Amino acid sequence: MSPARFVVRAEMRGKKELFALAAAAMGFATAVLALVLSLADSFERSFADSARELLGGDVSIRLSQRDFSEEEIEWLRANSAGFSQMRAARMLASGKNGARIARLKTADDSYPLFGKATVKGGGDVLAVIGGGAEDGIYPAVVSEGLLAQLSLALGDVFSVGGMTVSAAALIATEPDPDPTLILNDVLVLVHEKHFLAAGIVRPGLLISRYARVQLPPETGEEEWRARLEERFPDGGWRVRGINRALPRLQNIVEDAREFLALAALTAMLIAGVGIGGAMSAFLSSRLRAIAVVKMLGGSARLIRIIYLFMAVFVVGAGALAGVVFGQAALLFAAPKLSEHLPLTLTAIWSWGALGKAMLLAFLISAVFVLPPVMHYARANPLALFSGGARADDLPGLRAGERLLVAGVAAAAVVLVPLEGDDKIFVLGAAAAAGTLFLLSHLAAGLAGKFAKKAPPPFSWGLLAVSRNRRQAAASAMSLGIGLAALAAISNVEGNFNEVVEGALRDEIPAMFMIGVLPNQVEGLREMLSEADAEANMRAVPIVRGRITHLAGKPVSEYDPPQEFAWILRGDRGFTWSENDDFVGENSRIVEGEMWGGDDNGQLLASFDAEAAEAFGLEVGDAVQINILGKPATATVANLRLIQWERFDINFVVVLSRPPFANVPHGYFAAVRGISEQAARRAQREMGERFANVTPIVSGEVVDAAQKMLAKIAALLRAVTLLLLSGAIPVVIAALAESRHRRLRDSVAMRLVGTPASGVTLAALTELACTALVCVLPAVLFGMAGGWFVIGAIFDLPWNARAGEAAALIAQAVAFFLVLGGISVFRIVRSPPYPLLRND
Amino acid sequence: MQDEKLSSAAAVAAPSAEAEEPAICARGVCLSFGGGTVAVLSDLDLTVARGEKVALTGPSGSGKTSLLAVVSGLLRPDSGTVRTCSLPVETMNEDELAKMRRDKIGIVFQHFHLMESMTALENVMLPLELAGREDAEEKARESLSSVGMARRVGHFPSQLSGGERQRVAIARAFAPGPELLLADEPTGNLDFDTGKEILDVLFSLAEGGEQTIFFITHNHELLPRFGRVCALRGGRLETR
Ligand SMILES: Nc1ncnc2c1ncn2[C@@H]1O[C@H](COP(=O)(O)OP(=O)(O)O)[C@@H](O)[C@H]1O
Ligand SMILES: [Mg+2]
């Protein structure tokens, strides 16, 4: 047996509860990280496996507002192994019991190119919707959600966008779900021939046309897309390949992965602090043993090997259990998640993800375990001649040792499974933890200053706090991240709700209407003023298209910051106005001038000032847009600084007149001055009189947003509570590290005749004060975070919400007192004799 | 690690002279604490021949422990040369000193300093294990029975009395067969009778003249057992 193993075997007999706790915390964090990473990998694999089904083809081409031309369709057919067309639109579905926005989708006879579209009870979708129409009623396949929302039953007749359909069957599998995922559960699927026969397609309606192709054999996607681009350079469409089959969900998965990985890493950080604390507490109790081994001829290196081996054992056990648990959770969760997803999620064994989680657990633990091990390995056997050894006498770490720790930390950061930008958050979390450490250290030092002014039992407690600053600060660091997050979440949520309840509900127009046809504007205005005399409707023309060139440069050559990228990415609405309708309180011209009447028919544009700055666009530059396949070029006449958060109708680009004569367009309208009830009544009436119009009642949207916000806050809280539960071992470790000292102090106090109450009081003072020192800076930190989000990022009025913060502080302090109080109680009751006997 | 040879510094020591060289040879040793404010040893000379049994006395605070620490390489003197077991202590690094203690020196303390996590047997095995000895357990059992602790091998220090703990500590010091045994008031924490018993044990082990013993004690009744008694006063040694 090697000497190291001989010593380790004996040392493992000691108390391991603390290690077990810390290892459990690390194991838990590892489990979460392993789960998150391998879940993301499983998603990626599952996406890849069913990408063609989800997309509806190898390549999907989308057009808005115009149909594919004969020429285009001919080319697409000729250049593919399979071809299918589909239309999708959001339209009002109204039945005898109510009206709802539905997702209307049409399928042709080749639908679907990949996968199977089936109805409940068996059978093919096409077999149902391809049947004949009776008395102008067309067969439709619908989703359960739609029937529920309209209170209809299978077989009932309702209208969607002016087309009368019967709910002929329920959808069982839809291989190509709504790419936005928003209206997935309100499907109305009809056959293309019926949709066209119903005659509801009119210019100005918002309908997306999709052409899906199966690539010819031996043809790569890149190559094919290049050929398409070459043949139809002005197609004005958006092309998606299989790597972006379901971009919305893929983005959600990616964002969730980043967020949850960040949370798991923070939990690891906290667990690391815990393991470091447990190791420190353990080594301080092993100081004499270390000195003895060194006295007998063991080297400092042997000491390091002994205790690092123990750490590896403990962390390894925790991390291994974590990885196993994480993978088990994945295997269990994947089928459950699949039920709620538009694809089958297959759990894979992602060894890379599991290995990474495990490696990070080791590296992060090493960062916190190495310093105490290297520190205590310095124990000097000289101290054995006089009673024992004290940790305070040990010299600090050498430069080389600090470098090693920094190196391990750097390796951990490099390995961190986050996108480059998001790694900043890890550093941010570490910096926040460091700041909390320093703040608490300072606060604990202040407690010492107060000690001189306080009467005896309290002063002892206060003195103890300042003498044990390091432990208090360690607790503050790990508890603090979670507490600060909790405080910030409450603060942000509370402030948001205040804004939503106050300003938002008052300021936002009561109703928006999309897809209004030019000849319907006046009718709608009339109908609304009948519903509520105060109604004030503003309707603006809207045409959909996309920006193709800015200042002569194709938009594909721009790489703007994310917040502006959407403007260049695909279809957007353009409006026009011959006068200054779009200039006002919330939309000021900051550069250039408003157009007058004498522009010689030149097409001018007014551009969003902030976006213009991001693109480097200036007054006088050309903006080329493509509308319905036709290019039009406008000159930027002015830049407007728009306050989007005021909810007035506004557009990034406003033109001085229609881009060309007789451009088919619709209207977008906002209604103010009517109550929510009136808006709902109007919505129902529209289902009958203006079936093609899509009305959105703001109150419903705000309710939904509020619910969403509450859900997000609840999710964040749950994650934070997990973080906090990981911090408990750290606090216990810190309390344990000082327990031995407190025990000796209490024995000494009792020997000189202090009553038990005095001992208890001193200990409780120390605890309460330690708790405050840990909790207060963290909560203030969290409130500052809340201000940053609300005030600085969202530019909304911020409220400190001090009551909430105080309640959080009280809860955290109480938690501390309960945790530490148990040990105080045990100390006060323990008989002093055995302690005195064991030197 | 256990097979590593002693340091290069040790190898430099003249092997031919080794037989005659004393176990401890200190010349002109000066030692002070607090950056020179507390002078403890001043220009001290000490020679202890191989096999010699020397007692060191002196008032509390006179520097006896400090001298022992210097001899065992746990404390570096401000100046002077120290050769312990033929090794140039003042030029050796920490690891070399550790190996010297492991292979050549046994130390017995006033406060026993057993490993609480180890049984009596394991405590005695520890230095043997550190030296990589194959026969660690056998040797340790022998050593424990020679101090009369054969029946307590499986007990932990907390289950032993002070005298018993010190017996284990002595067994630990003797088990590797050190050339030099250092003791710092090993009876100081024990009552008189127990102290005497412990000394009997110690001397019976050291019988035969092989082992060099350098022994700090306050107890004048013990002094007749030693071949020579030194007293530390004013930082220097006086031989009686
Ligand atoms: N680490 C130290 N720092 C400062 N002074 C010390 C230290 N160790 C010992 N001393 C001082 O050196 C003197 C000798 O101590 P020591 O060798 O323990 O004496 P003895 O063993 O004879 O009682 C004492 O005055 C003691 O206070
Ligand atoms: Mg002494």
Condensed to tens digits (0 to 9), the pLDDT of residues B60-113 reads 889 999 999 999 988 889 999 999 999 999 899 888 888 899 899 999 988 888
**Mutate-to-test residue for ligand 1 from B37, B38, B214, highest number of ligand atoms within 8 A of CB:** B38
- The pLDDT of residue A387 is 66
For the record, the structure tokens of A628 come out as 């319905």
- The pLDDT of residue A302 is 92
User: What total of structural domains would you count in chain B?
Assistant: 1
- CATH number, domain containing residue B224: 3.40.50.300
In this structure, how many other beta carbons lie within 10 angstroms of the beta carbon of residue A178? 19
pLDDT in tens, A753-786: 677 777 788 878 888 888 888 888 889 988 988 8
Single-letter amino acid, residue B136: A
Q: Which of A89, A39, A324, A359 is nearest to A207 (CA)?
A: A89
Q: Which atom of ligand 1 is nearest to the CA of B64?
A: 22
Distance CA(B2)–CA(A449), nearest Å, equals: 52
The segments of chain A whose pLDDT lies below 50 read 837-839
Question: Which residue in this structure is represented by tokens 């980043």?
Answer: A258
User: In Å, how far are B142, B162, B203 from B200, measured between CA atoms?
Assistant: 17, 16, 5
On whether residue B10 sits in a domain, the answer given is: no
Number of residues that this document lists for chain A: 839
- The pLDDT of residue B15 is 44
| Cα B227 to middle of ligand 2, angstroms | 22
Single-letter amino acid, residue A757: S
Q: Which residues pair with B213 in a beta bridge?
A: B53, B181
Residue A59 contacts residue A212 (beta carbons within 8 Å):
yes
On whether residue B8 sits in a domain, the answer given is: no
On whether residue B221 sits in a domain, the answer given is: yes
Q: Which contacts of B13-20 are long-range, i.e. CB under 8 A and separated by 24 or more positions?
A: B13/B83, B13/B86, B13/B87, B13/B88, B17/B86, B18/B86
The model's confidence at residue B14, banded by pLDDT at 50, 70 and 90, is: very low
pLDDT in tens, B67-80: 999 999 888 899 99
In this structure, how many other beta carbons lie within 10 angstroms of the beta carbon of residue A753? 7
Q: Which atom of ligand 1 is nearest to the CA of A385?
A: 18
Q: Which atom of ligand 1 is nearest to the CA of B62?
A: 22
In this structure, how many other beta carbons lie within 10 angstroms of the beta carbon of residue A637? 23
Distance CA(A126)–CA(A112), nearest Å, equals: 9
Q: Which of A651, A610, A614 is nearest to A634 (CA)?
A: A651
Q: Which residues contact A425 (CB under 8 A, 6 or more apart)?
A: A262, A418
- The pLDDT of residue A411 is 92
DSSP type of residue A242: G
Q: What residue numbers bound the domain in which B199 lies?
A: 50-76+94-239
DSSP type of residue B6: P
Task: Give contacts of A 370-409 with B, CB under 8 A.
Answer: 380-382, 384-388
Residue B139 confidence (pLDDT) above 50: yes
B1 CB within 8 Å of a chain A CB: yes
Q: Which of B147, B190, B197 is nearest to B172 (CA)?
A: B147
Counting Cα atoms < 13 Å in the Cβ hemisphere of A132 gives 2
- The pLDDT of residue B4 is 42
pLDDT in tens, A290-346: 999 999 988 889 999 999 998 998 899 999 999 999 999 999 999 988 887 888 889
Q: Which contacts of A792-796 are long-range, i.e. CB under 8 A and separated by 24 or more positions?
A: A794/A645, A795/A645, A796/A495, A796/A496, A796/A499, A796/A645
Inter-chain residue contact B130 with A288, CB threshold 8 Å: no
Residue of B nearest to A290 (CA): B115
Q: Which helix (H) or strand (E) holds B53?
A: strand B53-57
Distance CA(A140)–CA(A138), nearest Å, equals: 6
DSSP type of residue B5: P
Single-letter amino acid, residue A385: F
Helix, strand, coil shares, percent, chain A, to 5: 60, 15, 25
Q: Which residues pair with B82 in a beta bridge?
A: B26
In this structure, how many other beta carbons lie within 10 angstroms of the beta carbon of residue A177? 23
**Mutate-to-test residue for ligand 1 from A380, A385, A392, highest number of ligand atoms within 8 A of CB:** A385
Residue B58 confidence (pLDDT) above 80: yes
- The pLDDT of residue B9 is 42
Q: Which contacts of A239-242 are long-range, i.e. CB under 8 A and separated by 24 or more positions?
A: A239/A59, A239/A60, A239/A61, A239/A62, A240/A55, A240/A59, A240/A60, A240/A61, A240/A62, A241/A55, A241/A58, A241/A59, A242/A48, A242/A51, A242/A52, A242/A55, A242/A58, A242/A59
